[in-house]
Amino acid sequence: MANIAEQRIKREFREVVKSDEVAACNIKVELVNDNFTELRGEIGGPPDTAYEGGNFKLEINIPETYPFNPPQVKFVTKIWHPNISSVTGAICLDILKDQWAAAMTLRTVLLSLQALLAAAEPDDPQDAVVAQQYKDNNAIFQRTARHWTTAYAGGPNIDAELEEKVTSMKNMGFDEHKARVALSTKDWDVTRAAEYLIS
């Protein structure tokens, strides 16, 4: 790994990541290996959103050319959000692509991701299905996102009706996660979700 990248990550750990402000914002970063190329991040869902109460884990890879190129970040925790792939966790966020600047840090990246959770941009989607639902049926979107937060990110809100639909499909022999994806995609219509899984 290039020297400057490693030095910067070390500095960021010392000076930025461990600050009190960062703890107050509910974000954190840990090392995965010793050479500072792989990191694990975590952000708390912002208050008054469908993600509130959830903890979302992120996989962060530092390129050799950091900070001249952005870190590669994706969600490990499954999440229902227009700008994050519900399948791969890939993120569509300008500062992780062409709007990256060398003065940005892991802290600014994590805070930006938190801001993205609070303010989705459905017109620049990563997950077309989710973005469509966000625009066409926002109430269902909010409920689905909240349900995913509870199911995958340890969120506190149990939606008994949605829970029950997942269980009923599980009882038909479908895998729980696949059933949840199908139901979420088909606006929680059990019949259409089952057809979707069979086809």
Partner 1 sequence: MGNCFKSSSNDDISLLRGTDTESNESAIEHPPFVEPPPPYRAQPEPQRRMPIYHPSPSVSRPANQLSEDEQIKIAQRLGLINHLPTGKYDGTNKKAKECVICMNEFELAEPLRYLPCMHTYHKECIDDWLMRSFTCPSCMEPVDAALLTTYQTN
Binding range to partner 1, per CB under 8 A, among 5-13, 116-124, 134-142, 157-165: 5-13
Considering only residues 33, 48, 103, 173, which one is a binding residue for partner 1 as defined by CB under 8 A? 103
Q: Which of residues 125-184 bind partner 1 (CB under 8 A)?
A: none
Name residues whose C-beta falls within 8 Å of residue 139's C-beta, 6 or more positions apart in sequence. none
Which entry of 92, 93, 153, 197 is annotated as an active-site residue?
92
Exposure string of 40-71, with b = 16+ CB inside 10 Å and e = fewer, is: ebbbbbbeebbbbbbbbebebebeeebbeebb
Is residue 108 involved in binding partner 1 (CB under 8 A)? no
Strand order across the beta sheet in which 27-31 lies: 27-31, 38-44, 55-61, 72-75
- Structure letter (DSSP) for residue 16: I
Q: Which of residues 33-92 bind partner 1 (CB under 8 A)?
A: 65, 67-69
Considering only residues 20, 34, 48, 98, which one is a binding residue for partner 1 as defined by CB under 8 A? 98
Binding range to partner 1, per CB under 8 A, among 10-18, 138-146, 168-176, 180-188: 10-18
Is residue 112 involved in binding partner 1 (CB under 8 A)? no
- In angstroms, give the least distance from the CB of 51 to partner 1: 28
How would DSSP label each residue in 84-122? B-TTT-BB--GGGTTT--TT--HHHHHHHHHHHHHS--T
Name residues whose C-beta falls within 8 Å of residue 42's C-beta, 6 or more positions apart in sequence. 27, 28, 29, 55, 56, 57, 58
- In angstroms, give the least distance from the CB of 107 to partner 1: 12
* Residue 25 annotated among the catalytic residues of the structure: no
Q: Which residues bind partner 1 (CB under 8 A)?
A: 4, 7-8, 11-12, 15, 65, 67-69, 97-98, 100-104
Residues serving a catalytic function are: 92
